Amino acid sequence: MKIAINTRLLLKDKLEGIGWYTYEIVKRMVKQHPEHDFYFLFDRPFSANFLFEKNVKPIVLSPAARHPFLWYWWFEFSVAKFLSKNNIDLFFSPDGYLSLNAKVNTVLTIHDLNFEYFPEQLPFLTRKYYQYFTPKFAKKANAIITVSKQSKKDIIEQYGIEKEKISAIYNGANKLYKPLEETKKKEVKDKYANGSDYFYFVGSLHPRKNIINLMKAFNQFCEQTKSDVKLLVIGEPMWKNDNTKQVFEQLEHKKRILFLGRKDIKELSKIAASAIALTFVPHFEGFGIPLAEAMFCHSPIITSDVSCLPEIAGNTAIYANPNDIDSIANTMKEMYINNEKREELIENCKIRKNEFSWDKAANEVWEILEQNLPC
């Protein structure tokens, strides 16, 4: 069979949440199923690192689709034409987009519906594109995959999709995420936090990630504890908007917030394993891969009590109201001073991490694809 996969988010040295999802899932599928031909659809020059097996055929379709108008053109014309011309049997799109013009069976992954709940956090054209097309995509797809039970519930309630059409399949974590010995932890602290203990955040500095409230809460934590603890922020460039910069500049303890930019998995896993805790308090998530990564490092978690986050973090976290700076600061203080609680959460990580496996996820995704291949 010929299976085409939308791989436009496989970007060398720039993989983020959905890009990592695509990478981890399709890498396993193409290896485990050499009997099928897989066509990877890129929208720009690609890295050979992503051509995982001999049964992968890379295709570059123009234009480079990084804008709503170009998304439309790429999916509705370039992708649809390729699928038809090459007699593709199934199209798998792991990033929430598909082609309404395509005449082949389609499996779609929708990670979350953040744009329906917090539309003001997206640029106008992006928001309108998602709100107009995503319900159409959901209705057209032969099957939908999502990454949590909460996201499945959101898709059913927002778009009236029958529950039998949607499968909730949890993400995993890269195998590089693992605990470190104390001597190695000290080296990491010396390298990144001037020898201090630290909390860490990882993710794009997008408004929904709630970085402003996190910084304000950390500043309050510093006032309350008089410690030299740092907050490491790992992700996109420091400032996504002027408001973030303005808030940061007004913080009394801003020198203890260290923006590290992007880090590769090897370094990020060491940072995660050496921290007091992950501090991840977004307003909304579809899954929250940093939660699973922290568990694999046996690092306890501070996260929000909303969206899918309690479903994923379970008993490995202390929960905060993401809209309440006092609540976030208090959880940081408890995590810092309550060693007994922290040790309990670490022990819970050792067990709960087994719920999240890329091998398991890839097998379950393949089952959905196989069910939708033409007879």
Tell me, what's the pLDDT at 14? Answer: 84
Find which of 112-126, 240-254, 341-355 is predicted with most confidence, using mean pLDDT: 341-355
Asked whether residue 100 falls in the same domain as residue 64, the answer is yes
Tell me, what's the pLDDT at 204? Answer: 83
Asked whether residue 31 falls in the same domain as residue 48, the answer is yes
Domain housing 21: 2-172+358-371
Asked whether residue 221 falls in the same domain as residue 304, the answer is yes
Q: For residue 161, tell me if it sits in a domain.
A: yes
Classify residue 375 by burial, with Cβ atoms within 10 Å: 0-12, 13-18, 19+: exposed
Asked whether residue 201 falls in the same domain as residue 337, the answer is yes
Asked whether residue 54 falls in the same domain as residue 120, the answer is yes
* pLDDT, the chain, mean: 95
Confidence tier at 244 by pLDDT (50, 70, 90): confident
Q: For residue 268, tell me if it sits in a domain.
A: yes
Asked whether residue 137 falls in the same domain as residue 207, the answer is no
What is the per-residue pLDDT across 202-243, written as a single tens digit (0 to 9) for each? 988 888 899 999 999 999 999 999 889 999 999 876 445 668
Asked whether residue 130 falls in the same domain as residue 220, the answer is no
Asked whether residue 267 falls in the same domain as residue 168, the answer is no
Tell me, what's the pLDDT at 375? Answer: 77
Q: Is-contact 291 275, C-beta < 8 A?
A: no
Q: For residue 91, tell me if it sits in a domain.
A: yes
Q: Give me the number of domains the chain comprises.
A: 2
Tell me, what's the pLDDT at 246? Answer: 87
Q: What percent of the chain has pLDDT over 90?
A: 90
Tell me, what's the pLDDT at 43? Answer: 97
Q: For residue 45, is the peptide bond before it cis, meaning its omega torsion is within 30 degrees of 0? A: no
What order do you get walking across the sheet with 230-234 strand by strand? 257-261, 230-234, 198-202, 277-280, 301-304, 317-320
Q: Is-contact 210 305, C-beta < 8 A?
A: no
Helices (H), 226-375: 242-250, 265-273, 289-296, 309-313, 325-337, 339-352, 358-371
30 φψ region: left (φ > 0), alpha (ψ -120 to 50), beta (else):
alpha
Tell me, what's the pLDDT at 240? Answer: 57
DSSP symbols for 79-144: IHHHHHHTT-SEEEETTS---TT--SEEEEE----HHHH-GGGS-HHHHHHHHHHHHHHHHH-SEE
Q: 334-340 long-range CB contacts below 8 Å, 24 or more apart?
A: 335/199, 335/276, 335/277, 335/300, 335/302, 336/197, 336/221, 336/225, 336/227, 336/229, 336/276, 337/225
Q: For residue 312, tell me if it sits in a domain.
A: yes
What is the per-residue pLDDT across 100-132, written as a single tens digit (0 to 9) for each? 999 999 999 999 999 999 998 888 999 999 999
Asked whether residue 156 falls in the same domain as residue 287, the answer is no
Asked whether residue 203 falls in the same domain as residue 159, the answer is no
Q: Is-contact 293 271, C-beta < 8 A?
A: no
Tell me, what's the pLDDT at 235? Answer: 87
Q: For residue 43, tell me if it sits in a domain.
A: yes
Cα–Cα distance for residue pair 184/281, rounded to 1 Å: 27
Residue 159 DSSP class: H
Q: For residue 177, tell me if it sits in a domain.
A: no
pTM recorded for the entire structure:
0.93
Q: For residue 166, tell me if it sits in a domain.
A: yes
Asked whether residue 163 falls in the same domain as residue 46, the answer is yes
Q: CATH no. for residue 283?
A: 3.40.50.2000
Q: What angle do CA 143, 145, 150 make, to 5 degrees?
A: 125
Whether 11 has a pLDDT exceeding 90, the answer reads: yes
Asked whether residue 246 falls in the same domain as residue 279, the answer is yes
Q: Which of 6, 25, 19 is nearest to 357 (CA)?
A: 25
Tell me, what's the pLDDT at 245? Answer: 83
In this prediction, residues 57-74 reach a mean pLDDT of: 96
